[in-house]
Structure 1
Amino acid sequence: MTRLLLRGAQVITMAPHRPGSERADVLIDGDTIAAVGDGLDPTGAEVVDVADRIVLPGLVNAHLHTWQTALRGVGADWTLADYLGRLHGAVAGRYRPEDMRIGTLAGALSQLDRGTTTLGDWCHNTPTPEHTDAALDGLRAAGIRGVFLHGTPYSAADAAHPVSEVDRLPRGPLLTVGMAVRGPQLSTPDAAVADFRAAAERGLVVSMHQSGGAPGPAWAAVRAAGLLGPGTNVVHGAGLTEEWVKILVDAGASITCTPENELGQGHGIPVTGQLLRLGAAPSLGTDTDAVAPADVLSAARIALATQRGHDHERHRQDTGSFALTTTITAKQALTWATTEGARALGLDGRVGRLEAGMQADLVVIDGSGPNPLATALYAGAGDIEAVMVAGRWRKRDHELLDADLGAVREQLRRSAAHLLPHVPA
């Protein structure tokens, strides 16, 4: 197996027992991190000089609808009602399997380009098995680590999730499967309980949207059935009461915020502060390229700045002045985009940290400075020099590898040309 030694970088391991950043080497054996430390023995390894670089765990985008990539930016001025009516109501039914494939492939490649190595692909435009299989094919072709969250088009509130479709889906070294259900906000109590139970019986992450309103009776039914737990992932969470956020946190559930989308479309204020007050933290997603940028580091910065703004305002109301000490750090924001994302997708034992035994998923940032944590958090796509997934370079010297980008662009253009005429003005 191939052994690589990344030598001399400022390394951000995100491991709880190590410094925020440190000068270290990273030894990779095949698809696994063998060691992280200073002056590691290079015997038998290809040595890659990464001095004056920052190495950190691959980023995790825990919530993205990649199938919408061909419509990038079309909904920049849409409210949530516009998005639901125009994209789901008018356009989703026009998708062909080939549109699902190219949207997913292009969306996943875009994530790799921006340093995301693990993607929670929330695919809820699957009217036929052919649509599902095409989306899966696009995800596999990109070479990203993917959690394919199988969803369905919006349907009756009492319809249970089609678990036979979930059961037939293939898994692989880089591909796991979860369930993207309508969830208690949009389902009857019986249907919500059935969906949660099906996920629990299969050991799958069950993910659902919840925003723009208080939790309904189906939430209480799921809780009474004892089905809330670490495999529960709530997307957005805006509108949940303090009591319900605590219930979810105490159960070990995760909440994924998509802050730019939530603030811009009207989901509600991100629940970052509610989580932090309970000693918990959000994972992050970018939701949809049709509405918001696909950059999870931007999501981290927006979530950080938004919550700092609320904290300053609360302090100003209490004392007449902004806070004199920072309430949240850059390192915390990076955990939201790495370790918390891994936990939300059920992969916290495999990715999200750089330490021995973890998968070799990492990002190399072209840059250095007195504060490597801030340099990493402020990085843009142009700063991402290299990306590795399972010990294999997917981006190197600022260029994506093993991808015919010309063909991808042309297929995406043709898909957009097919779909855009169906977007209502």
Structure 2
Amino acid sequence: MPKEILIRNVYLADPDLPPQTRPRTTDILVRDGRIVAVEDGIQAPDAEVIEGDRAIAVAGMVDSHRHVWQTAIRGVAADWSLADYVREIRVGYATAYTPEHIYLANLAGALEALDTGVTALCDFSHLMNSPAHAEAAIQGLTDAGIRGVFCYGFYDVPARERAFASHDDRLRHAEEVAQSFRATAGPLLDFGVALTEFGLVGPEVTDRELDFARRHDALITLHVGTFGSPHGIADLDRRGRLGPDMLHVHANMCGDDELERLVASGGGLSITPETEMQMGMGWPVTNRLIEAGGLPSFGVDIASNIGGDMLTQMRLALQTARAIDNQKVLDQGIVPDRIGLTVRDALRFGTEGGARAMRMGGEIGTLRKGARADIALFATGGLNMMPMGDPVAMLLLESRPGDAVTVLVDGRVVKRDGRLVGVDLPGLREKLDRAFGEIADRVAESRDTAAGSSNAYARVVKRATGTD
């Protein structure tokens, strides 16, 4: 990796800059993996030069919630409710993965993120079917070269062959992974923990998982405010377990008081608008979190249903939040005369918001001097980008994920001239197609066994859907 990289002639999509109807280009200088200057006419004769050609430069987007392992089963959840998802994924497809399957899924999912300008993600990896599955999942992210947090999931997948006979066994294995993580994972990855859903286990089990995570200063991520844990934040607060090390996800069913408690705790919240609206979780809580004083972040969530770009999630979240605000005025019999949330807000949530939620605030999610050089360049030569207006508005509402032509992570170029560097896409496609077929073939066989060993989930689904 060269010591210096000079990115020339780019527009800045920076939420701190005012709208520009006639934007001007500038340069960015990267040295030793950090941004050292953002200004016009930078002179760096020894630097590698990347000609921006009037592309839009944006801080690498940050996905604060994704189940990356589901990349190997794209499209299966297209018409599912949340109850369908629980029945089919958690006690079906999840039981059929081999370590090779999760490796390919994590590799392809992380590469897809990079391909669309997402340079960091929080992988909620609740497919720890065996020690080999954990090793393969970490290796997939490492080999892709993405930044992020690998969150070890304690959820007990009801597979035919059980590598862990008890929760104690899982805790012992998680301890081994945490102890060896720094030596085995790439330097861009941190270790985290994904809690088992509260509806599946008692508070004593949750406490053991929390205590383990906090002994290792690990980011703790958890699903809250959905069926099984509609008031999980309140329950945690009542027991004195809320903390700034927590990255909550969804929270659609949580009351305003719970969102206030979350904000007061210093924890983060990931909103996944596309999944939440499809699967009947309730309206995304973007507006309510802001009113509670919080900074939203966004996530792609399930790769079994949703593409891996963050632009889609930012757009959906922004326009849904605007519609909710507008409806309050329309209900009064008048027409709204102003827009509250702006494209700059949405961009901040999809970059800085994710960085803070993942405890990386100030390091990533920004183009400020001193930040790590996680940068994406979006081409402006297409018809969708003519004429060129305000860079933030053009990026958020006019660009396409495929416009991402150059991507850097920690100052290393991972995508150049529209192509991922060093990636054999035809070979990867062949392996993934084969893996998808193998998983599908194993699902029916595995589901019969899983159905008898997933009573906890069955009870939660029946209770939530009124079929109990």
Same fold (TM over 0.5): yes
Quote the offset at 1:297 in angstroms. Answer: 0.9
Q: State the identity as a percent.
A: 34
2:262 equivalent in structure 1: 248
Q: Distance in 1 between matches of 2:179 and 2:427?
A: 30
Aligned length: 421
Quote the offset at 1:221 in angstroms. Answer: 5.4
Q: Distance in 1 between matches of 2:48 and 2:232?
A: 55
1:292 equivalent in structure 2: 306
Amino acid at match of 1:351: I
CA contact (8 A) 1:365 1:383 kept: yes
Quote the offset at 1:302 in angstroms. Answer: 0.4
CA contact (8 A) 1:205 1:231 kept: yes
Quote the offset at 1:173 in angstroms. Answer: 1.9
CA contact (8 A) 1:272 1:303 kept: yes
Quote the offset at 1:411 in angstroms. Answer: 0.9
Q: 2:404 aligns with which of 357, 361, 384?
A: 384
CA contact (8 A) 2:111 2:144 kept: yes
The structure number with the bigger radius of gyration is: 2
Residue 222 (structure 2) pairs with residue 208 (structure 1): yes
CA offsets 1:224-271 (integer angstroms, 9 cap, x no match): 454322211111111011110100011111110111011001122111
Q: Distance in 1 between matches of 2:87 and 2:347?
A: 34
How large is the Cα RMSD of the aligned pairs?
Answer: 2.3
Q: Distance in 1 between matches of 2:131 and 2:273?
A: 32
1:374 equivalent in structure 2: 393
Q: Distance in 1 between matches of 2:408 and 2:206?
A: 38
Relative to structure 1, the CA distance from residue 195 to residue 3 in structure 2 (aligned partners, 3 Å threshold; closer, same or farther) is same
Q: Distance in 2 between matches of 1:288 and 1:223?
A: 28
1:359 equivalent in structure 2: 372
Q: 1:421 aligns with which of 441, 449, 466?
A: 441
Quote the offset at 1:215 in angstroms. Answer: 5.0
- For residues 394-409 of structure 1, what are the structure 2 equivalents within 5 Å? 394-409=414-429
CA offsets 1:138-183 (integer angstroms, 9 cap, x no match): 1111111121011033479x95762414423423421111001125
Residue 347 (structure 2) pairs with residue 346 (structure 1): no
5+ residue gaps in structure 1?
A: none
- For residues 191-230 of structure 1, what are the structure 2 equivalents within 5 Å? 191-213=205-227, 219-220=233-234, 222-230=236-244
Amino acid at match of 1:385: V
Q: Select between 179-188 and 247-256 the one with higher mean Cα deviation.
A: 179-188
Amino acid at match of 1:167: A
Quote the offset at 1:213 in angstroms. Answer: 4.3
Relative to structure 1, the CA distance from residue 216 to residue 274 in structure 2 (aligned partners, 3 Å threshold; closer, same or farther) is closer
Q: Select between 276-285 and 51-60 the one with higher mean Cα deviation.
A: 276-285
Q: Select between 354-363 and 210-219 the one with higher mean Cα deviation.
A: 210-219
Q: Distance in 2 between matches of 1:49 and 1:273?
A: 39
Q: Distance in 2 between matches of 1:217 and 1:282?
A: 19
1:167 equivalent in structure 2: 178
Q: Distance in 1 between matches of 2:157 and 2:231?
A: 19
Amino acid at match of 1:373: V
Relative to structure 1, the CA distance from residue 79 to residue 51 in structure 2 (aligned partners, 3 Å threshold; closer, same or farther) is same
Relative to structure 1, the CA distance from residue 83 to residue 127 in structure 2 (aligned partners, 3 Å threshold; closer, same or farther) is same
Relative to structure 1, the CA distance from residue 310 to residue 76 in structure 2 (aligned partners, 3 Å threshold; closer, same or farther) is same
Relative to structure 1, the CA distance from residue 220 to residue 279 in structure 2 (aligned partners, 3 Å threshold; closer, same or farther) is closer
1:129 equivalent in structure 2: 131
Structure 2 residue matching 1:170: 3-state secondary structure: helix
Q: Distance in 1 between matches of 2:228 and 2:143?
A: 40
Q: Distance in 2 between matches of 1:247 and 1:26?
A: 40
CA contact (8 A) 1:256 1:285 kept: yes
Structure 2 residue matching 1:261: 3-state secondary structure: helix
Structure 1 residue matching 2:92: 3-state secondary structure: helix
Q: Distance in 2 between matches of 1:198 and 1:216?
A: 24
- For residues 145-184 of structure 1, what are the structure 2 equivalents within 5 Å? 145-154=147-156, 159=167, 162=171, 163-171=174-182, 172-184=186-198
Amino acid at match of 2:389: P
Quote the offset at 1:293 in angstroms. Answer: 2.2
Amino acid at match of 2:292: L
CA contact (8 A) 2:233 2:242 kept: no
Q: Distance in 2 between matches of 1:279 and 1:2?
A: 41
Relative to structure 1, the CA distance from residue 365 to residue 86 in structure 2 (aligned partners, 3 Å threshold; closer, same or farther) is same
Q: Select between 278-287 and 250-259 the one with higher mean Cα deviation.
A: 278-287
Q: Select between 195-204 and 329-338 the one with higher mean Cα deviation.
A: 195-204
2:465 equivalent in structure 1: none
Relative to structure 1, the CA distance from residue 20 to residue 123 in structure 2 (aligned partners, 3 Å threshold; closer, same or farther) is farther
2:93 equivalent in structure 1: 91
Q: Distance in 2 between matches of 1:178 and 1:382?
A: 31
Structure 1 residue matching 2:334: 3-state secondary structure: coil
Relative to structure 1, the CA distance from residue 189 to residue 20 in structure 2 (aligned partners, 3 Å threshold; closer, same or farther) is farther
1:266 equivalent in structure 2: 280
CA contact (8 A) 2:6 2:30 kept: yes
Q: Distance in 1 between matches of 2:229 and 2:247?
A: 15
Q: Distance in 1 between matches of 2:205 and 2:112?
A: 35
CA contact (8 A) 2:155 2:195 kept: no
Quote the offset at 1:31 in angstroms. Answer: 1.1
Question: TM-score w.r.t. structure 2 length?
Answer: 0.85
